[in-house]
């Protein structure tokens, strides 16, 4: 989806238009769309136009928080009446080495070979904002993932099937990436997929848009 394009999504509700949408997901990820659909709220999807490059010395968690905010605000500026959700994810290996989106087969292979038998921590950041009343909340949810020992044949087969060039750490856990793992430790299982719904539902309630009404 091109930047600035908007699509409507619904789960048994009236589908909102761009102008009428009270909730917009600032993301092109189909996995984030699928997660948000679980809440049963009608929403629109718009692609943000954001430079995702890390700043010099920027830690992965700080990068994810900044980008989540920039994505949300880029879309909120065009739709000030809407509540806009932005999210981003970054990772570290063994708590120290920053792991980004590989962008290529070779880089993804290097990341997974390095992750074999080790622990990767995913930082999933969230921003919910609305310009008309100044509502703005942010959070970061961390998930620790232990990779099992992987051989090159498994890695190459996985990369051939999933092509996870746009996934932090090359681990698309919502797909075949789950087969690479030994254990997952975290407070919110949806955070690892890219949109922490526990934190999100709290933000939506405080913004006056509860999935359960009231």
Of the CA atoms within 13 Å of residue 117, those in its CB half-sphere come to: 4
DSSP for 101-119 reads ---SHHHHHHHHHHHTTSE
* Extended strands (E) in the chain: 6-9, 23-25, 43-46, 83-93, 97-99, 119-130, 135-147, 181-186
Strand partners, 144: 121, 185
CB 100 within 8 A of CB 171: no
Residue 79's Cβ-count burial label (10 Å; 0-12, 13-18, 19+) is: buried
Active-site positions? 88
Of the CA atoms within 13 Å of residue 142, those in its CB half-sphere come to: 11
Residue 193: both structure tokens together: 């997929």
Which distant-in-sequence residues (6+ apart) come within 8 Å of 67 by Cβ?
A: 50, 52, 86, 88, 125
């Amino acid at each position: 989806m091109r930047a600035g394009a908007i699509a409507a999504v619904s789960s048994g509700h009236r589908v909102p238009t761009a102008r009428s949408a009270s909730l917009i997901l600032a993301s092109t990820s189909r996995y984030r769309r699928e997660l948000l659909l679980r809440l049963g709220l009608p929403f629109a999807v718009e692609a943000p136009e954001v430079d995702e490059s890390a700043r010099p010395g920027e830690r992965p968690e700080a990068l994810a928080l900044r980008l989540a905010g920039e994505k949300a605000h880029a879309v909120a500026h065009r739709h000030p009446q809407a509540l806009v959700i932005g999210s981003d994810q970054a990772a570290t290996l063994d708590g120290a080495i920053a792991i980004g989106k590989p962008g290529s087969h070779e880089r993804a292979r290097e990341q997974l070979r390095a992750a074999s038998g080790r622990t990767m921590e995913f930082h999933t950041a969230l921003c919910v904002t609305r310009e008309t009343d100044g509502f703005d909340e942010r959070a970061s949810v961390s998930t620790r993932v232990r990779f099992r020992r992987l051989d090159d044949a498994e890695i190459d087969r996985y990369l051939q099937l999933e092509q996870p060039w746009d996934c932090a750490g090359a681990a698309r856990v919502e797909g075949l990436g789950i087969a690479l793992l030994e254990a997952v430790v975290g407070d919110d299982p949806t955070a690892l997929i890219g949109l922490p719904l526990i934190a999100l539902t709290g933000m939506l309630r405080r913004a006056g848009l509860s999935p359960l009404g009231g």
